[in-house]
Structure 1
């Protein structure tokens, strides 16, 4: 039996990734100090890897596919295939940002003023390329972590750091002067693995279901009964991905109306639907929208 080797990112994305797979139909169970979790799919073999290294393992063929950040794929200059963008993170559903930050009391306000300065970052290659393209000569050093503290203590003049909310950066008294790049999670695959028809189909099916689960986030279904005389009024109130589904109830002048809407619209819409003549309104969650 064929088995697909899949990499799951360790660290901040680990729990969010496992939760996303659970919503997509796969249960991945972690064991303490075990880098090879169980998965309820005999066609999958999972490994836990640092996202910084994931693209290297996928490129080498040690893994057929994996979940990692666009930033680390670019940092490693990996020769892989991007199968799908999966915009999710540990905090929000937005892309993360790599920013250039300086001390709050620094006179530096523009990227050009960093010429000749020292910069600490974990994203060395991408940062070097960024400044080289702008003709700026900077001294870039690799940071193993606690990057914000390095600029606070005077070990460097600026940092390039990843952030979602900037809360940690602000907590250290730093000020963002430039957004260098945005990054999001991606499903990547080994190019040789994609030449295998079975593996390609398995990877593409995983991508489809993961994207479907993300698409369903914060979206709900609404179902209600509406009399014939109120049908047009209610239909005109409904936002929808497509036209709502309408079916006549058996031997009655009433209709069942069903639609899909954003979760935040429900609180304002349901009272209006009730006033418009809708009855038996049911709201239900969605796992996937394909």
Structure 2
């Protein structure tokens, strides 16, 4: 082998080495993102201005917890609870799938629910996973929540009071029996808790039919689209399919501010990529 051939051979070896280095670096980055997305809890701070917000609710802070799915992991519930406390919320809204139907652990979900009312008032609606539990498991979860002081809303209306002012809070766990709840709304400012973001259009239009409206709709269910890539707003979401429209943050739907949480847990064997767990901290502003 002459000198030129040896030089080309050395160059080829160098190129192969660089390719191997790049592959290793990319693999480490993917693994790091995978671990981060399935363990880290991000606090997403959101706010919106409303002309009809009562003065007493100016600056009101709401923490939304969605899709806990009795998430496993040593110390995870304590980490999650501390994150909620650090937000110093006035209210906590739990928007469904606190229990996982694939690997149900009602006791673990109740372990979280027991801690939350010590922070501030808690209001909860159920999602599809709770309704796919056995009747015994579902009743165990609901009775446990209520015994700890969590307010479970079944397609019903209630009011929140702060600094002498009131607003309406609606909680829907499905799209049935909702007419009576809408007819009970008397306040000018209305918040809806509902698990499914794809139902916001239906609920906002139905509210108008009953002479009211929805200012904010807090939802989850989409898990942030599970895999989030540049220029892709999530790859897949239950109820919306591939390339879902509503996965994270706020959207305007028929003059309703739709809030979609990425959730704080995984269902079954599903995992995330570039999509960390998320608590929503939403501040009401006039």
**How does the TM-score come out when normalised to structure 1?**
0.23
**Higher relative contact order (Cα pairs below 8 Å, separated by 6+ residues):** 2
Q: Which has the higher strand share?
A: 1
